[in-house]
């Protein structure tokens, strides 16, 4: 029986990974916000920013795989209430320091353990390319993107110098019913459902012309699993290669519910605190290396999200 540690097990990707690996009969330990799940597997609380805690876990459990999904997010619609230095501090604490503790712990105590790090399309924040691949220069322009780049470089360092199997999946936008309401996909789906049920009469969105490369989160976690079980470590774009506008998303969601989105959606670009460029990923390397393909289309993803909210569609 294989063993895995899922860091960030209560987030979207972590919860999906728990389901996936349970279906493959893994013995699992999940870590989220310094707690351990299941507690009967490892009773002590874990602070991923404490190297001794991480090292002790790796020594005792010797996992075959570590999935590092923990991340500090700051939405483009979130109010900027924290200072820049606080955003950087928290981003580096979770996105880099905790990761380094696992990489170093693996090097010292469990060198055969393979590690997957969840990167982000925001590594390419200021790119001028229409479509990005693994050779596109990185140009992050947010605390999140900059810290994620340092996480990727840390994996590259430990893989190159210490031969640790450390791979990075560069995730583009991916959605599921596990998303919280501050994420755009859930905001649109829940808003449409609330309007259908008479709980409100409008949905306010930012730039409805903005375009996104959207995929279905279970497909992307399956890609992470395939990357970690490939013959060699590396960096891989996880994306659909297609872009859709926020208008497209709203139009499809409302149409599934028998409504015209134009009657209910109000655009207010002032709610966007950070404007992002359109980012579209090329997943060819991932497809060739692992055989991965998306199984759920953009339209079908929206239908599944609506069904999770209780819609009969």
What single-letter DSSP state applies at residue 93?
I
CATH superfamily of the domain spanning 184-211+243-278+297-308: UDP-galactose 4-epimerase, domain 1 (3.90.25.10)
- Give bridge partners of residue 30 from the DSSP assignment: 6, 37
Q: Quick one: pLDDT at residue 108?
A: 98
**Which residues does the chain have with pLDDT short of 50?**
39-40, 43, 76-80
CATH superfamily of the domain spanning 3-175+214-238: NAD(P)-binding Rossmann-like Domain (3.40.50.720)
Angle at 117 (CA atoms; ends 179, 300), nearest 5 degrees: 35
Strands 114-120 and 65-68: parallel
Cα–Cα distances in angstroms (integers) from residue 164 to residues 65, 94, 110, 197, 292, in the given order: 12, 21, 10, 52, 24
- Give bridge partners of residue 31 from the DSSP assignment: 7, 36
Q: Quick one: pLDDT at residue 275?
A: 74
Tell me the whole-structure pTM to 2 decimals: 0.93
Among candidate residues 144, 138, 151, 116, the one with its CA nearest the CA of residue 8? 116
User: How many Å apart are CA 302 and CA 308, to the nearest integer?
Assistant: 10
Please write the tens of the pLDDT for every residue from 263-299.
Answer: 999 999 887 766 788 999 999 999 999 999 999 999 9
Q: What are the residue ranges of CATH 3.90.25.10 in the chain?
A: 184-211+243-278+297-308
Q: What are the residue ranges of CATH 3.40.50.720 in the chain?
A: 3-175+214-238
Q: Is residue 54 exposed (0-12), middle (13-18) or buried (19+ Cβ within 10 Å)?
A: buried
């Amino acid at each position: 029986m294989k063993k895995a540690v899922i860091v960030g097990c209560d987030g979207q990707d972590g919860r999906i990974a728990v389901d996936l690996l349970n279906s493959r009969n893994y013995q699992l330990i999940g870590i989220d916000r310094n707690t351990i799940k299941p507690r009967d597997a490892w009773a002590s609380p874990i602070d991923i920013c404490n190297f001794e805690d991480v090292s002790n876990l790796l020594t005792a459990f010797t996992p075959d795989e570590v999935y590092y999904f923990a991340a500090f997010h700051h939405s483009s619609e979130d109010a900027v209430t924290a200072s820049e230095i606080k955003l950087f501090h928290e981003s580096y604490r979770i996105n880099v320091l905790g990761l380094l503790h696992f990489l170093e712990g693996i090097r010292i105590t469990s060198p055969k353990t393979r590690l997957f790090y969840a990167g982000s399309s925001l590594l390419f924040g200021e790119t001028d390319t229409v479509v990005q691949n693994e050779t596109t220069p990185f140009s992050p322009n947010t605390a999140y993107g900059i810290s994620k780049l340092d996480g990727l470089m840390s994996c590259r360092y430990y893989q190159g110098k210490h031969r640790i199997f450390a791979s990075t999946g560069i995730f583009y936008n991916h959605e599921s019913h596990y998303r919280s309401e501050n994420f755009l996909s859930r905001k649109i789906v829940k808003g449409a459902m609330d309007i259908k049920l008479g709980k409100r009469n409008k949905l306010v969105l930012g730039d409805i012309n903005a375009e996104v490369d959207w995929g279905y989160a279970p497909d992307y976690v399956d890609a992470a699993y395939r990357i970690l079980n490939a013959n060699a470590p590396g960096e891989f774009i996880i994306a659909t290669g297609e872009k859709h506008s926020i208008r497209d998303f709203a139009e499809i969601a409302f149409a599934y519910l028998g409504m015209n989105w134009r009657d209910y959606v109000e655009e207010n670009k002032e709610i966007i605190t950070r404007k992002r460029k359109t980012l579209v990923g090329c997943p060819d390397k991932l497809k060739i290396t692992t055989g991965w393909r998306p199984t759920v289309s953009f339209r079908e993803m929206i239908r599944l999200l609506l069904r999770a909210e209780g819609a009969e569609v």
